[in-house]
Structure 1
């Protein structure tokens, strides 16, 4: 499954809204943090999309959980 950059950004924003940064250091939730690394690398490398399988397991889980909110089951 190909994930466009804007979808990864939307997933990060979803998790940031659902679990806002905590403490004075503004630590991201585990889900947002897992997605932020590939997002930053994609921007740095001028990539417009990434394969789901290229993401680390925690990022895959966070993204799939985000995408499931659009499915019927």
Structure 2
């Protein structure tokens, strides 16, 4: 398990947002796509965006690590 999970076994909404932004920086919008068009997220960012949106909707500040899929946990590894 990565450093993210060692202490508290929860992930904050800020950590999820940071990971989404890191993935967006790593895999930017495809060439030829204008700013006004729909933004396509890579698979890692998309999986985290699903969790992030749910947390915003339910006003959660953190979520148990056990509630995330293995792909989502792997996508969080980008923030260490």
Shorter-chain TM-score bucket reads: 0.7 to 0.9
Unmatched tracts of structure 2, length 5 or more: 1-8
The alignment yields a C-alpha RMSD, in angstroms, of 1.5
Higher relative contact order, chain-length normalized (CA < 8 Å, sep 6+): 2
Misfit runs of 4+, over 3 Å: none
2:10 maps to which of 2, 16, 21 = 2
Return the TM-score normalized by structure 1. 0.80
Give the corresponding residue for 2:57. 44
Output the TM-score relative to the length of structure 2. 0.74
